[in-house]
Structure 1
Amino acid sequence: MGNQMDKLSHLSYAEVPTVDPNGADTEDGPRIGVSYIFSNDDDELEDGCALDGSEKEPNQEEKQYDRRDEVECAVYNRDECIFEKSSKCGSLDVYSPENLLNKCKAGDLVEFVATGQYPHWAVYVGDFQVVHLHRAEVKNSFLTDAGQGRRCRIVNDVYKFKALGPDVVVQNAMEQVGLKDRELSWRNSECFAAWCRFGKREFKMGGEIRIGKQPYRLKILMSDKRSHVLEFQSLEDMITEKRRNDHLGRTAVLRELATHFSGVEAIRGDAGGD
Protein backbone atom coordinates (compact mmCIF):
# COMPACT_ATOMS: atom_id res chain seq x y z
CA MET A 1 0.00 0.00 0.00
CA GLY A 2 2.90 2.41 0.66
CA ASN A 3 1.51 5.91 1.15
CA GLN A 4 -1.72 5.19 -0.68
CA MET A 5 -4.87 5.39 1.43
CA ASP A 6 -8.51 4.66 0.81
CA LYS A 7 -10.49 7.66 -0.38
CA LEU A 8 -13.50 8.82 1.61
CA SER A 9 -15.95 11.50 0.59
CA HIS A 10 -16.27 14.76 2.51
CA LEU A 11 -18.80 14.72 5.33
CA SER A 12 -21.45 17.40 4.93
CA TYR A 13 -22.10 19.77 7.81
CA ALA A 14 -25.53 18.19 8.34
CA GLU A 15 -23.94 14.84 9.21
CA VAL A 16 -21.84 15.96 12.16
CA PRO A 17 -22.26 18.04 15.34
CA THR A 18 -21.31 21.70 15.18
CA VAL A 19 -21.13 24.85 17.25
CA ASP A 20 -23.09 28.04 17.59
CA PRO A 21 -22.60 30.18 14.46
CA ASN A 22 -21.73 33.19 16.61
CA GLY A 23 -18.47 31.48 17.50
CA ALA A 24 -19.12 31.19 21.23
CA ASP A 25 -16.48 28.94 22.74
CA THR A 26 -18.39 26.78 25.19
CA GLU A 27 -17.29 23.45 26.60
CA ASP A 28 -20.75 21.91 26.66
CA GLY A 29 -21.66 21.63 23.00
CA PRO A 30 -19.60 19.55 20.56
CA ARG A 31 -17.89 21.11 17.61
CA ILE A 32 -17.81 19.61 14.18
CA GLY A 33 -15.26 16.80 14.13
CA VAL A 34 -14.27 15.63 10.68
CA SER A 35 -11.43 13.25 9.89
CA TYR A 36 -10.30 12.49 6.36
CA ILE A 37 -8.34 9.69 4.79
CA PHE A 38 -7.79 10.83 1.23
CA SER A 39 -5.64 9.97 -1.70
CA ASN A 40 -4.37 12.86 -3.85
CA ASP A 41 -7.93 13.98 -4.40
CA ASP A 42 -7.39 17.45 -5.82
CA ASP A 43 -4.62 16.83 -8.35
CA GLU A 44 -6.87 17.06 -11.39
CA LEU A 45 -8.46 20.27 -10.20
CA GLU A 46 -5.31 22.01 -9.05
CA ASP A 47 -3.03 21.28 -11.96
CA GLY A 48 -4.74 23.08 -14.81
CA CYS A 49 -7.81 20.99 -15.60
CA ALA A 50 -11.24 22.48 -15.93
CA LEU A 51 -13.85 21.59 -13.34
CA ASP A 52 -15.34 19.03 -15.71
CA GLY A 53 -11.94 17.32 -15.95
CA SER A 54 -11.19 18.47 -19.49
CA GLU A 55 -7.76 19.87 -20.32
CA LYS A 56 -7.30 23.63 -20.62
CA GLU A 57 -4.75 25.36 -22.77
CA PRO A 58 -1.54 25.79 -20.71
CA ASN A 59 -1.63 29.59 -20.86
CA GLN A 60 -5.38 30.07 -20.97
CA GLU A 61 -6.21 33.16 -18.92
CA GLU A 62 -8.42 32.47 -15.90
CA LYS A 63 -11.49 34.44 -14.95
CA GLN A 64 -10.37 37.39 -12.84
CA TYR A 65 -9.73 36.22 -9.29
CA ASP A 66 -11.97 38.09 -6.84
CA ARG A 67 -10.38 38.57 -3.41
CA ARG A 68 -13.82 39.34 -1.98
CA ASP A 69 -14.83 35.71 -2.55
CA GLU A 70 -11.82 34.36 -0.66
CA VAL A 71 -12.54 32.37 2.50
CA GLU A 72 -10.83 34.10 5.42
CA CYS A 73 -9.80 31.77 8.22
CA ALA A 74 -7.41 31.03 11.06
CA VAL A 75 -6.04 27.72 12.33
CA TYR A 76 -5.12 26.88 15.91
CA ASN A 77 -3.16 24.00 17.35
CA ARG A 78 -4.70 23.98 20.79
CA ASP A 79 -4.29 27.66 21.80
CA GLU A 80 -1.54 28.61 19.33
CA CYS A 81 -2.43 30.28 16.02
CA ILE A 82 -0.45 28.46 13.33
CA PHE A 83 -2.12 29.84 10.19
CA GLU A 84 -4.01 33.00 9.33
CA LYS A 85 -5.41 34.28 6.08
CA SER A 86 -7.46 37.45 6.34
CA SER A 87 -7.51 41.02 5.16
CA LYS A 88 -6.38 42.07 8.65
CA CYS A 89 -3.09 40.15 8.63
CA GLY A 90 -1.42 41.81 5.66
CA SER A 91 -1.78 42.07 1.92
CA LEU A 92 -2.92 39.01 0.01
CA ASP A 93 -3.13 40.81 -3.31
CA VAL A 94 -2.52 38.69 -6.39
CA TYR A 95 -0.34 39.40 -9.41
CA SER A 96 0.45 37.97 -12.79
CA PRO A 97 3.42 35.56 -12.71
CA GLU A 98 5.46 38.04 -14.74
CA ASN A 99 4.92 40.79 -12.16
CA LEU A 100 5.57 38.44 -9.24
CA LEU A 101 9.04 37.56 -10.54
CA ASN A 102 10.30 40.96 -9.39
CA LYS A 103 9.21 40.18 -5.84
CA CYS A 104 10.33 36.54 -5.47
CA LYS A 105 13.43 35.33 -3.65
CA ALA A 106 14.78 31.79 -3.48
CA GLY A 107 12.92 29.83 -0.81
CA ASP A 108 9.67 31.83 -1.10
CA LEU A 109 6.33 30.02 -1.19
CA VAL A 110 4.12 30.95 -4.14
CA GLU A 111 0.38 30.30 -4.31
CA PHE A 112 -1.43 30.26 -7.67
CA VAL A 113 -5.16 31.00 -7.48
CA ALA A 114 -8.08 30.94 -9.89
CA THR A 115 -11.82 31.06 -9.49
CA GLY A 116 -13.29 27.57 -9.10
CA GLN A 117 -9.95 25.78 -8.65
CA TYR A 118 -7.95 24.47 -5.74
CA PRO A 119 -4.98 26.75 -4.99
CA HIS A 120 -1.66 25.45 -6.27
CA TRP A 121 1.50 25.95 -4.21
CA ALA A 122 5.13 25.99 -5.30
CA VAL A 123 8.61 26.76 -3.97
CA TYR A 124 10.55 29.43 -5.82
CA VAL A 125 14.11 28.14 -6.30
CA GLY A 126 15.59 31.02 -8.34
CA ASP A 127 16.25 31.64 -12.04
CA PHE A 128 12.52 32.09 -12.73
CA GLN A 129 11.85 28.47 -11.65
CA VAL A 130 9.70 26.74 -9.05
CA VAL A 131 9.46 23.20 -7.69
CA HIS A 132 5.92 21.93 -7.14
CA LEU A 133 3.81 18.80 -6.75
CA HIS A 134 1.92 18.52 -10.02
CA ARG A 135 -0.13 15.53 -11.18
CA ALA A 136 1.33 13.23 -8.54
CA GLU A 137 4.92 14.16 -9.45
CA VAL A 138 7.38 16.68 -8.03
CA LYS A 139 8.46 18.86 -10.96
CA ASN A 140 10.85 21.72 -11.66
CA SER A 141 9.09 24.27 -13.90
CA PHE A 142 9.32 27.88 -14.95
CA LEU A 143 7.08 30.01 -12.76
CA THR A 144 5.02 31.19 -15.72
CA ASP A 145 4.47 27.59 -16.88
CA ALA A 146 3.48 26.41 -13.39
CA GLY A 147 0.96 29.25 -13.17
CA GLN A 148 -0.93 28.15 -16.30
CA GLY A 149 -2.54 31.57 -16.58
CA ARG A 150 -3.46 31.85 -12.91
CA ARG A 151 -2.82 34.81 -10.66
CA CYS A 152 -0.28 34.33 -7.88
CA ARG A 153 1.18 35.74 -4.67
CA ILE A 154 3.88 35.10 -2.08
CA VAL A 155 2.49 33.32 1.00
CA ASN A 156 5.52 32.98 3.27
CA ASP A 157 3.70 34.35 6.30
CA VAL A 158 0.30 32.63 6.33
CA TYR A 159 1.78 29.70 8.28
CA LYS A 160 3.27 30.90 11.57
CA PHE A 161 5.98 28.25 11.91
CA LYS A 162 9.64 29.25 11.94
CA ALA A 163 11.01 28.96 8.41
CA LEU A 164 14.19 27.13 7.51
CA GLY A 165 17.00 29.04 5.82
CA PRO A 166 16.42 29.81 2.12
CA ASP A 167 19.23 27.48 1.03
CA VAL A 168 17.70 24.61 3.02
CA VAL A 169 14.23 25.31 1.62
CA VAL A 170 15.57 25.19 -1.94
CA GLN A 171 17.57 22.04 -1.17
CA ASN A 172 14.48 20.35 0.33
CA ALA A 173 12.54 21.13 -2.84
CA MET A 174 15.22 20.20 -5.38
CA GLU A 175 15.99 16.87 -3.70
CA GLN A 176 12.39 15.72 -4.27
CA VAL A 177 12.25 16.50 -8.00
CA GLY A 178 11.27 13.39 -9.93
CA LEU A 179 9.40 11.66 -7.10
CA LYS A 180 6.02 10.40 -8.22
CA ASP A 181 3.00 8.30 -7.30
CA ARG A 182 3.70 5.98 -4.35
CA GLU A 183 7.05 7.61 -3.68
CA LEU A 184 5.28 10.78 -2.57
CA SER A 185 4.81 11.72 1.08
CA TRP A 186 2.47 14.71 0.54
CA ARG A 187 -1.20 14.78 -0.25
CA ASN A 188 -1.23 18.01 -2.26
CA SER A 189 0.92 20.88 -3.49
CA GLU A 190 0.34 22.98 -0.35
CA CYS A 191 1.54 20.26 2.01
CA PHE A 192 4.63 19.71 -0.16
CA ALA A 193 5.60 23.38 -0.42
CA ALA A 194 4.98 24.04 3.28
CA TRP A 195 7.07 21.00 4.24
CA CYS A 196 9.96 22.31 2.12
CA ARG A 197 9.88 25.67 3.91
CA PHE A 198 9.19 24.54 7.49
CA GLY A 199 10.42 20.94 7.56
CA LYS A 200 7.61 19.74 9.80
CA ARG A 201 6.55 16.11 9.49
CA GLU A 202 2.94 17.12 10.18
CA PHE A 203 2.68 18.19 6.53
CA LYS A 204 3.43 14.63 5.37
CA MET A 205 0.89 11.86 4.87
CA GLY A 206 0.55 9.96 8.13
CA GLY A 207 2.72 12.51 9.93
CA GLU A 208 0.33 12.45 12.86
CA ILE A 209 -1.74 9.64 14.35
CA ARG A 210 -5.49 10.31 14.07
CA ILE A 211 -6.56 9.15 17.52
CA GLY A 212 -7.74 10.83 20.68
CA LYS A 213 -8.46 14.53 21.04
CA GLN A 214 -8.73 16.75 17.98
CA PRO A 215 -6.10 19.45 18.59
CA TYR A 216 -6.54 21.48 15.37
CA ARG A 217 -9.29 24.08 15.02
CA LEU A 218 -10.16 25.73 11.71
CA LYS A 219 -11.97 29.00 12.38
CA ILE A 220 -13.90 30.22 9.33
CA LEU A 221 -14.58 33.95 9.55
CA MET A 222 -18.16 34.48 8.42
CA SER A 223 -18.28 38.18 9.32
CA ASP A 224 -16.64 40.59 11.77
CA LYS A 225 -18.69 39.13 14.61
CA ARG A 226 -19.48 35.60 13.48
CA SER A 227 -17.29 32.57 12.89
CA HIS A 228 -17.60 28.82 12.58
CA VAL A 229 -15.16 26.36 14.12
CA LEU A 230 -14.24 22.89 12.88
CA GLU A 231 -11.92 20.47 14.68
CA PHE A 232 -9.47 17.98 13.20
CA GLN A 233 -7.10 15.33 14.46
CA SER A 234 -4.23 16.25 12.14
CA LEU A 235 -2.83 19.22 10.24
CA GLU A 236 -3.15 17.19 7.04
CA ASP A 237 -6.90 16.73 7.58
CA MET A 238 -7.33 20.43 8.34
CA ILE A 239 -5.51 21.45 5.15
CA THR A 240 -7.79 19.15 3.12
CA GLU A 241 -10.89 20.96 4.41
CA LYS A 242 -9.32 24.42 4.11
CA ARG A 243 -8.46 23.74 0.47
CA ARG A 244 -11.98 22.47 -0.21
CA ASN A 245 -13.29 25.79 1.09
CA ASP A 246 -10.78 27.70 -1.05
CA HIS A 247 -12.02 25.78 -4.07
CA LEU A 248 -15.68 26.55 -3.31
CA GLY A 249 -15.18 30.24 -2.48
CA ARG A 250 -16.65 32.37 0.29
CA THR A 251 -20.13 32.72 -1.21
CA ALA A 252 -20.62 28.96 -1.58
CA VAL A 253 -19.13 28.19 1.85
CA LEU A 254 -21.40 30.70 3.60
CA ARG A 255 -24.38 29.31 1.70
CA GLU A 256 -23.44 25.78 2.79
CA LEU A 257 -23.12 26.85 6.41
CA ALA A 258 -26.43 28.74 6.29
CA THR A 259 -28.16 25.64 4.96
CA HIS A 260 -26.64 23.59 7.75
CA PHE A 261 -27.65 26.01 10.50
CA SER A 262 -31.19 26.19 9.10
CA GLY A 263 -31.35 22.41 9.23
CA VAL A 264 -30.11 22.37 12.81
CA GLU A 265 -32.74 24.93 13.86
CA ALA A 266 -35.46 22.88 12.14
CA ILE A 267 -34.35 19.74 13.98
CA ARG A 268 -34.34 21.62 17.28
CA GLY A 269 -37.80 22.98 16.54
CA ASP A 270 -39.17 19.52 15.77
CA ALA A 271 -37.58 18.12 18.93
CA GLY A 272 -39.09 20.90 21.00
CA GLY A 273 -42.53 20.12 19.69
CA ASP A 274 -42.49 16.49 20.87
Structure 2
Amino acid sequence: MGNQMDRLSHLSYAEVPTVDPNGVDTDDGPRIGVSYIFSSDDDELEDGCKNYDPRDEVECAVYNREECIYEKSAKCANLEVYSPENLLNKCKAGDLVEFVATGQYPHWAVCVGDFQVVHLHRAEVKNSFLTDASQGRRCRIVNDWYKLKPLCADVVVQNAMEQVGLKDRELSWRNSESFAGWCRFGKREFKMGGEIRIGKQPYRLKVFVSDKQSHVLEFQSLEDVIMEKRRNDHLGRTAVLRELAAHFRGVEEMKSEMGVPPGRLSQQLCTQT
Protein backbone atom coordinates (compact mmCIF):
# COMPACT_ATOMS: atom_id res chain seq x y z
CA MET A 1 0.00 0.00 0.00
CA GLY A 2 2.84 2.37 0.69
CA ASN A 3 4.37 1.74 -2.75
CA GLN A 4 2.86 4.25 -5.15
CA MET A 5 4.27 2.27 -8.10
CA ASP A 6 1.83 -0.51 -7.24
CA ARG A 7 -1.26 1.66 -7.72
CA LEU A 8 -3.77 0.33 -10.27
CA SER A 9 -5.95 2.83 -12.10
CA HIS A 10 -9.57 2.08 -12.94
CA LEU A 11 -10.35 1.41 -16.58
CA SER A 12 -13.02 3.40 -18.39
CA TYR A 13 -16.42 1.75 -18.87
CA ALA A 14 -15.56 1.20 -22.55
CA GLU A 15 -12.58 -0.92 -21.46
CA VAL A 16 -14.40 -2.99 -18.82
CA PRO A 17 -14.93 -6.60 -20.00
CA THR A 18 -18.46 -7.62 -20.91
CA VAL A 19 -20.31 -10.72 -19.76
CA ASP A 20 -20.87 -11.69 -23.39
CA PRO A 21 -17.76 -13.61 -24.63
CA ASN A 22 -18.20 -11.94 -28.03
CA GLY A 23 -17.77 -8.53 -26.40
CA VAL A 24 -21.31 -7.22 -26.98
CA ASP A 25 -23.46 -5.83 -24.19
CA THR A 26 -27.19 -6.21 -24.07
CA ASP A 27 -29.19 -3.18 -22.96
CA ASP A 28 -30.22 -4.74 -19.67
CA GLY A 29 -27.43 -7.24 -19.04
CA PRO A 30 -24.73 -6.78 -16.39
CA ARG A 31 -21.03 -6.36 -17.13
CA ILE A 32 -18.10 -7.71 -15.18
CA GLY A 33 -16.48 -5.01 -13.08
CA VAL A 34 -12.86 -4.08 -12.66
CA SER A 35 -10.76 -5.82 -10.03
CA TYR A 36 -8.94 -3.28 -7.88
CA ILE A 37 -5.67 -4.83 -6.77
CA PHE A 38 -3.50 -2.11 -5.26
CA SER A 39 -5.52 1.11 -5.38
CA SER A 40 -6.10 3.00 -2.10
CA ASP A 41 -8.39 5.99 -2.49
CA ASP A 42 -7.83 7.22 1.07
CA ASP A 43 -4.26 8.13 0.18
CA GLU A 44 -5.73 10.71 -2.17
CA LEU A 45 -7.78 12.99 0.08
CA GLU A 46 -7.56 16.51 -1.25
CA ASP A 47 -7.54 19.83 0.56
CA GLY A 48 -9.44 21.77 -2.09
CA CYS A 49 -13.11 22.75 -2.33
CA LYS A 50 -15.32 21.35 0.45
CA ASN A 51 -18.67 22.15 -1.20
CA TYR A 52 -21.30 19.43 -1.41
CA ASP A 53 -24.05 19.30 -4.06
CA PRO A 54 -26.81 16.76 -3.27
CA ARG A 55 -27.93 16.82 -6.91
CA ASP A 56 -24.66 15.11 -7.86
CA GLU A 57 -25.22 12.20 -5.45
CA VAL A 58 -24.86 8.79 -7.14
CA GLU A 59 -27.60 6.49 -5.90
CA CYS A 60 -26.94 2.76 -6.02
CA ALA A 61 -27.54 -0.67 -4.48
CA VAL A 62 -25.33 -3.71 -3.91
CA TYR A 63 -26.57 -7.30 -4.14
CA ASN A 64 -24.90 -10.49 -2.97
CA ARG A 65 -26.54 -12.93 -5.35
CA GLU A 66 -30.22 -12.01 -4.85
CA GLU A 67 -29.97 -10.33 -1.44
CA CYS A 68 -29.66 -6.54 -1.21
CA ILE A 69 -26.86 -5.84 1.26
CA TYR A 70 -26.46 -2.08 0.68
CA GLU A 71 -28.63 0.72 -0.66
CA LYS A 72 -28.08 4.43 -0.95
CA SER A 73 -31.06 6.22 -2.42
CA ALA A 74 -33.41 9.03 -1.49
CA LYS A 75 -36.17 6.44 -1.07
CA CYS A 76 -34.36 4.07 1.27
CA ALA A 77 -31.74 6.11 3.13
CA ASN A 78 -31.37 9.45 4.84
CA LEU A 79 -29.14 11.49 2.53
CA GLU A 80 -29.34 14.69 4.58
CA VAL A 81 -25.96 16.09 5.59
CA TYR A 82 -24.93 18.32 8.50
CA SER A 83 -22.02 20.43 9.57
CA PRO A 84 -19.61 18.53 11.87
CA GLU A 85 -20.64 20.75 14.77
CA ASN A 86 -24.32 19.92 14.27
CA LEU A 87 -23.60 16.19 14.01
CA LEU A 88 -21.77 16.01 17.35
CA ASN A 89 -24.95 15.64 19.39
CA LYS A 90 -26.62 13.30 16.89
CA CYS A 91 -24.08 10.49 16.80
CA LYS A 92 -23.20 7.97 19.52
CA ALA A 93 -20.53 5.37 20.10
CA GLY A 94 -20.66 2.61 17.48
CA ASP A 95 -22.21 4.80 14.76
CA LEU A 96 -20.73 5.07 11.28
CA VAL A 97 -20.23 8.58 9.89
CA GLU A 98 -19.58 9.59 6.30
CA PHE A 99 -17.88 12.87 5.34
CA VAL A 100 -18.71 14.14 1.84
CA ALA A 101 -17.54 16.90 -0.49
CA THR A 102 -17.94 17.44 -4.22
CA GLY A 103 -15.12 15.92 -6.26
CA GLN A 104 -13.66 13.91 -3.37
CA TYR A 105 -13.91 10.33 -2.21
CA PRO A 106 -16.34 9.97 0.72
CA HIS A 107 -14.54 9.38 4.01
CA TRP A 108 -15.95 7.01 6.63
CA ALA A 109 -15.27 6.91 10.36
CA VAL A 110 -16.42 5.03 13.47
CA CYS A 111 -17.72 7.05 16.41
CA VAL A 112 -16.07 5.90 19.65
CA GLY A 113 -17.52 8.43 22.11
CA ASP A 114 -16.42 11.76 23.58
CA PHE A 115 -16.86 13.42 20.15
CA GLN A 116 -14.06 11.25 18.74
CA VAL A 117 -13.86 8.91 15.75
CA VAL A 118 -11.48 6.22 14.56
CA HIS A 119 -10.81 6.22 10.83
CA LEU A 120 -8.40 5.02 8.16
CA HIS A 121 -6.69 8.10 6.75
CA ARG A 122 -3.65 8.19 4.50
CA ALA A 123 -2.66 4.57 5.16
CA GLU A 124 -2.96 4.82 8.95
CA VAL A 125 -5.74 4.11 11.45
CA LYS A 126 -6.15 7.25 13.55
CA ASN A 127 -8.14 8.41 16.56
CA SER A 128 -9.33 11.98 15.93
CA PHE A 129 -11.95 14.44 17.03
CA LEU A 130 -14.91 14.31 14.67
CA THR A 131 -14.53 17.97 13.73
CA ASP A 132 -10.86 17.42 12.85
CA ALA A 133 -11.56 14.26 10.84
CA SER A 134 -14.19 16.09 8.78
CA GLN A 135 -11.62 18.53 7.35
CA GLY A 136 -14.49 20.97 6.84
CA ARG A 137 -16.70 18.54 4.93
CA ARG A 138 -20.40 17.91 5.50
CA CYS A 139 -21.28 14.66 7.27
CA ARG A 140 -24.07 12.21 8.10
CA ILE A 141 -24.76 9.00 10.01
CA VAL A 142 -24.84 5.98 7.67
CA ASN A 143 -25.61 3.06 10.01
CA ASP A 144 -28.47 1.68 7.92
CA TRP A 145 -27.02 1.76 4.43
CA TYR A 146 -25.53 -1.72 4.80
CA LYS A 147 -28.34 -4.23 5.37
CA LEU A 148 -26.15 -6.37 7.61
CA LYS A 149 -26.62 -7.23 11.28
CA PRO A 150 -24.39 -4.89 13.33
CA LEU A 151 -22.32 -5.90 16.30
CA CYS A 152 -23.15 -4.35 19.67
CA ALA A 153 -21.80 -0.82 20.14
CA ASP A 154 -19.14 -1.85 22.67
CA VAL A 155 -17.68 -4.40 20.25
CA VAL A 156 -17.76 -1.90 17.37
CA VAL A 157 -15.78 0.59 19.47
CA GLN A 158 -13.38 -2.13 20.62
CA ASN A 159 -12.80 -3.26 17.03
CA ALA A 160 -11.96 0.31 16.02
CA MET A 161 -9.76 1.21 18.99
CA GLU A 162 -7.68 -1.99 18.73
CA GLN A 163 -6.58 -0.97 15.22
CA VAL A 164 -5.40 2.56 16.09
CA GLY A 165 -1.79 3.02 15.05
CA LEU A 166 -1.76 0.41 12.28
CA LYS A 167 -0.25 1.75 9.08
CA ASP A 168 0.95 0.87 5.59
CA ARG A 169 1.40 -2.88 5.09
CA GLU A 170 -0.02 -3.70 8.53
CA LEU A 171 -3.44 -2.70 7.24
CA SER A 172 -6.14 -5.13 6.10
CA TRP A 173 -8.33 -2.51 4.37
CA ARG A 174 -7.87 -0.39 1.25
CA ASN A 175 -10.20 2.46 2.17
CA SER A 176 -12.00 4.08 5.09
CA GLU A 177 -15.41 2.59 4.20
CA SER A 178 -14.13 -0.99 4.24
CA PHE A 179 -12.44 -0.34 7.59
CA ALA A 180 -15.56 1.23 9.14
CA GLY A 181 -17.78 -1.53 7.73
CA TRP A 182 -15.55 -4.22 9.23
CA CYS A 183 -15.60 -2.51 12.64
CA ARG A 184 -19.41 -2.35 12.71
CA PHE A 185 -20.33 -5.67 11.08
CA GLY A 186 -17.23 -7.81 11.72
CA LYS A 187 -17.37 -9.54 8.34
CA ARG A 188 -14.16 -10.63 6.67
CA GLU A 189 -15.57 -9.61 3.28
CA PHE A 190 -14.58 -6.02 4.10
CA LYS A 191 -10.90 -7.01 4.37
CA MET A 192 -8.31 -7.30 1.61
CA GLY A 193 -8.34 -10.86 0.34
CA GLY A 194 -11.32 -11.68 2.54
CA GLU A 195 -12.92 -13.53 -0.36
CA ILE A 196 -11.36 -15.93 -2.85
CA ARG A 197 -11.58 -14.45 -6.35
CA ILE A 198 -12.66 -17.55 -8.26
CA GLY A 199 -15.81 -18.75 -9.96
CA LYS A 200 -18.85 -16.63 -10.72
CA GLN A 201 -19.36 -12.97 -9.88
CA PRO A 202 -21.56 -13.11 -6.73
CA TYR A 203 -21.88 -9.32 -6.27
CA ARG A 204 -23.83 -6.83 -8.37
CA LEU A 205 -23.61 -3.05 -8.22
CA LYS A 206 -26.74 -1.40 -9.54
CA VAL A 207 -26.36 2.30 -10.36
CA PHE A 208 -29.73 4.06 -10.53
CA VAL A 209 -29.80 6.17 -13.68
CA SER A 210 -33.42 7.26 -13.22
CA ASP A 211 -36.60 5.96 -11.57
CA LYS A 212 -36.96 3.38 -14.34
CA GLN A 213 -33.40 2.80 -15.47
CA SER A 214 -30.33 1.31 -13.87
CA HIS A 215 -26.93 -0.02 -14.90
CA VAL A 216 -25.44 -3.19 -13.42
CA LEU A 217 -21.84 -4.35 -12.95
CA GLU A 218 -20.82 -7.74 -11.52
CA PHE A 219 -17.87 -8.28 -9.16
CA GLN A 220 -16.11 -11.17 -7.48
CA SER A 221 -15.71 -9.47 -4.09
CA LEU A 222 -17.38 -6.91 -1.87
CA GLU A 223 -14.06 -5.08 -1.67
CA ASP A 224 -14.11 -4.45 -5.43
CA VAL A 225 -17.75 -3.30 -5.30
CA ILE A 226 -16.90 -0.76 -2.59
CA MET A 227 -13.97 0.58 -4.62
CA GLU A 228 -16.17 1.03 -7.69
CA LYS A 229 -19.05 2.78 -5.94
CA ARG A 230 -16.57 5.07 -4.17
CA ARG A 231 -15.05 5.92 -7.53
CA ASN A 232 -18.54 6.84 -8.75
CA ASP A 233 -19.06 9.03 -5.67
CA HIS A 234 -15.75 10.75 -6.41
CA LEU A 235 -16.77 11.44 -10.02
CA GLY A 236 -20.34 12.52 -9.21
CA ARG A 237 -23.63 11.67 -10.92
CA THR A 238 -23.16 13.91 -13.96
CA ALA A 239 -19.76 12.47 -14.83
CA VAL A 240 -20.91 8.87 -14.23
CA LEU A 241 -23.91 9.28 -16.54
CA ARG A 242 -21.70 10.86 -19.17
CA GLU A 243 -19.26 7.95 -18.91
CA LEU A 244 -22.08 5.42 -19.23
CA ALA A 245 -23.53 7.26 -22.21
CA ALA A 246 -20.16 7.18 -23.99
CA HIS A 247 -19.87 3.45 -23.29
CA PHE A 248 -23.31 2.64 -24.68
CA ARG A 249 -22.75 4.80 -27.76
CA GLY A 250 -19.72 2.61 -28.47
CA VAL A 251 -21.81 -0.52 -27.91
CA GLU A 252 -24.49 0.68 -30.33
CA GLU A 253 -21.88 1.44 -32.96
CA MET A 254 -20.47 -2.07 -32.55
CA LYS A 255 -23.94 -3.58 -32.86
CA SER A 256 -24.58 -1.55 -35.99
CA GLU A 257 -21.39 -2.83 -37.60
CA MET A 258 -22.43 -6.41 -36.74
CA GLY A 259 -25.96 -5.90 -38.06
CA VAL A 260 -27.57 -6.10 -34.62
CA PRO A 261 -30.70 -3.88 -34.21
CA PRO A 262 -29.76 -0.85 -32.09
CA GLY A 263 -31.36 -0.27 -28.69
CA ARG A 264 -32.54 2.96 -27.14
CA LEU A 265 -30.56 2.98 -23.92
CA SER A 266 -27.59 5.00 -25.13
CA GLN A 267 -29.89 7.72 -26.46
CA GLN A 268 -31.80 7.83 -23.20
CA LEU A 269 -28.60 8.04 -21.18
CA CYS A 270 -27.25 10.85 -23.38
CA THR A 271 -30.34 12.99 -22.93
CA GLN A 272 -30.02 12.71 -19.13
CA THR A 273 -26.48 14.08 -19.04
Q: Tell me the TM-score normalised to structure 1 length.
A: 0.88
Q: Residues 36 and 227 of structure 2 are in contact (CA less than 8 Å); yes or no, is this contact kept in structure 1?
A: no
Equivalent pair of 1:71/1:249 in contact (CA under 8 Å)? yes
Displaced runs of 4 or more, over 4 A = 1-6, 18-21
C-alpha deviation, 1:39, in angstroms: 2.4
Instruction: Identify unmatched segments of 5+ residues in structure 1.
Output: 51-55
Q: CA deviation at 1:45?
A: 2.6
Aligned counterpart in structure 2 of residue 222 of structure 1, from 202, 209, 234: 209
Partner of 1:82: 69
Spell out, residue by residue over 1:71-98, the C-alpha distance to the aligned partner (whole angstroms, 9 max, x if none). 0000000000000000000321000000
Which amino acid in structure 2 is aligned with residue 62 of structure 1?
K
Give matches, 1:5-20, under 5 Å: 6-15=6-15, 16-17=17-18, 19-20=25-26
Match of 1:62 in 2: 50
One-letter amino acid of the structure 2 residue matched with residue 262 of structure 1:
R
> Is 1:43 paired with 2:42?
yes
Change (3 A) 1:4 1:249: closer
Deviations 1:16-40 (A, max 9, x none): 226544xx4xxxx5x3112423324
Letter in 1 for 2:67: E
Structure 1 partner of 2:92: 105
Deviation per CA, 1:186-235, whole angstroms, max 9, x where unpaired?
A: 01000000000000000000000111100000000000111000000000
- Which residues of 2 match residues 166-185 of structure 1 at below 5 A? 166-185=153-172
1:6, CA displacement in angstroms? 4.5
Indicate the residue corresponding to 1:248 in structure 2: 235
- Seen in structure 2, the aligned counterparts of structure 1 residues 117 and 2 have a Cα distance that, compared at 3 Å, is closer
Give the structure 2 partner of residue 93 of structure 1: 80
1:154 aligns with 2:153: no
In 2, distance between residues paired with 1:167 and 1:108?
A: 11
Distance, in Å, in 2 between the alignment partners of 1:115 and 1:260 is: 24
- 1:29-40 correspondence runs (5 A): 31-40=30-39
Whole-angstrom distance in 2 between the partners of 1:212 and 1:186: 23
> For residue 180 of structure 2, what is the aligned residue in structure 1?
193
Q: Give the RMSD, CA atoms, in angstroms.
A: 2.1
Q: Distance in 2 between matches of 1:196 and 1:2?
A: 22
8 Å contact from structure 2 (residues 43, 121) kept in 1: no
- In structure 2, the residue corresponding to 1:104 is in which secondary structure? coil
- Which amino acid in 1 is paired with 2:31? I
Counterpart-to-counterpart distance in 2, 1:130 and 1:11: 33
Could you tell me which amino acid in structure 2 is paired with residue 114 of structure 1? A
Preserved CA contact (<8 Å) 1:5 1:39 = no
Is the Cα–Cα contact under 8 Å of residues 109 and 123 in structure 1 kept in the other structure? Answer: yes
Question: Match for residue 53 of structure 1?
Answer: none
Q: Distance in 1 between matches of 2:62 and 2:81?
A: 22
Gap change, CA 1:221 and 1:177, over 3 Å in 2: same
- Distance in 2 (CA, whole Å) between partners of 1:137 and 1:76 is 30
Q: Tell me the CA shift for residue 172 of structure 1.
A: 0.3
Find the counterpart in structure 1 of residue 151 from structure 2: 164
* SS of match in other structure, 2:44: helix
CA distance in 2, matches of 1:7, 1:244: 14
Report the number of matched residues: 254
Q: Distance in 2 between matches of 1:4 and 1:253?
A: 26
Aligned partners of 1:183 and 1:5: how far apart in 2?
18
Sequence identity (%): 77
AA in 1 matched with 2:121: H
SS in 2 for 1:192: helix
Equivalent residue for 1:262? 249
Unaligned runs of 5+ in 2: 20-24, 261-273
How many angstroms does 1:7 deviate by?
3.5
Cα 1:4–1:232 shift into 2, 3 Å: farther
Quick one: distance in 2 between partners of 1:14 and 1:247? 19
Give, as a single letter, the amino acid of the residue that structure 1 aligns with 2:79: L
SS in 2 for 1:83: strand
